[in-house]
Structure 1
Amino acid sequence: MEYRLRELARRDIAAINGWRADRELISCLGAPYRFINQEVDEAWFDAYMRSRQTCVRCAIVGKEDGILGLVTLAGIDHLRQSATLHIMIGSSKNRGRGMGTFAVLSMLRHAFYDLNLHRVELSVLATNEAAIGLYEKCGFSREGTRRQACYKQGKFVDMYEYGILRGEEREPS
């Protein structure tokens, strides 16, 4: 399947709100599970629109324009030429199909060659083997461990810190 990125739009809020209510999905991410209503997500979107100088949020879409996932460069620091990457694939049926690889590599190209960033970093749960495999396949290097840094499903879990510098990204074979 072919994918593309487009900037997040207000019409995507309902889908994202549904993903945030998916305990299985949130269990794979560093964020805690919370009950988030539509109004909170609309305020989140409005805050994004005001912070576009330091944040890029893109919907991952397929042949139709409906959102399948979300990939973000947050905390863009133009002085340090760095940002933090986040990704979320909405439905479990869409995971493991190359969408994450496409989105991460596309966002890295945007970061390095459009925004002139030098470094992109991320944090990932030590238990999220699929995401770790994706990041390493794309060229990220593990730089450290924050021990028991995240509370998930009743226990503390380590977070791995990954980083990549311009020129280290690689297309999968």
Structure 2
Amino acid sequence: MSIPSALWNPRPVRLLEGERVYLRPVSAEDAEGYYQMLFNPEIRRLTGTRQAFTLEEVRRYIEAKSGDRTTVLLLIALRDDDTVIGDIALQDIDQVNRNANLRIAIDSERHLGKGYGPESIKLLLEYGFGILNLHRIELQVFDYNERAIKAYEKVGFKREGVQRGALYYNHRYHDSIWMSMLEEEFRERYGVE
């Protein structure tokens, strides 16, 4: 069955749409760009990434995540021109205990400090609490990533604790800060009933 050309929309699918960004699923066609993003030195530092990946490994990762019911992996794109500026994910989704882990990476310094991260996080929180019926969403952030800590606090994450010396990166040990948000905190903060 073919799709009538009048119904075909060449623009990327927009799963979750905000004022300035939207979140869309990752596809096989995104492998090259995703691969390039994984070698951005600043993203590697902020996320504590040490491993090198091949393009084929990235392709296999994207394919595996597309069928994985414990992960929602999405790209962050600008609404104005569809430029992909990063990725965001809910991982380790536990439907029994209704919790998950959130991670986000913005690809370029020119896209940082503009509110794209908090807007993307809020979209994914709304999806996690409102569609996936999660109760708790948590994350880890390294102590030297002050911009991310402020962004998480801005959207309502609360600090829970610190894993001292949890990451060895660039000749030093760094603390990992645990943060979380509960569904009732999200609903209260954003006026969702």
**TM bin (shorter chain):** over 0.9
Determine which structure has more spread, i.e. the larger CA radius of gyration.
2
* Alignment counterpart, residue 70 of structure 2, candidates 21, 32, 54: 54
Is 1:94 equivalent to 2:126 in the alignment? Answer: no
Unaligned runs of 5+ in 2: 1-18
| Aligned match of 2:42 | 24
Displacement of 1:118: 0.4
Q: State the distance in 2 between where 1:48 and 1:116 align.
A: 20
Q: State the distance in 2 between where 1:141 and 1:163 align.
A: 5
CA deviations over 1:114-172 (Å, ceiling 9, x no partner):
0000000000001100000000111101001001001111111000000100132346x
Which structure carries more relative contact order (alpha carbon 8 Å, separation 6+)?
1
**Aligned partners of 1:6 and 1:60 also within 8 Å:** yes
**Aligned partners of 1:76 and 1:83 also within 8 Å:** yes
1:123 maps to amino acid:
Q
Is 1:5 equivalent to 2:23 in the alignment? Answer: yes
| Aligned match of 1:157 | 174
| Aligned match of 2:153 | 136
Unaligned runs of 5+ in 1: none
Q: State the distance in 1 between where 2:168 and 2:151 align.
A: 23
TM-score, scaled relative to structure 1 = 0.93
Question: How many equivalent residue pairs?
Answer: 169
Runs of 4+ aligned residues of structure 1 deviating over 6 Å after TM superposition are: none
The DSSP-based 3-state class of the residue aligned with 1:28 is helix
Q: State the distance in 2 between where 1:85 and 1:24 align.
A: 19
TM-score, scaled relative to structure 2 = 0.83
Instruction: Say what the alpha-carbon RMSD is for the aligned residues.
Output: 1.3
Q: State the distance in 2 between where 1:116 and 1:9 align.
A: 25
1:23 maps to amino acid:
P
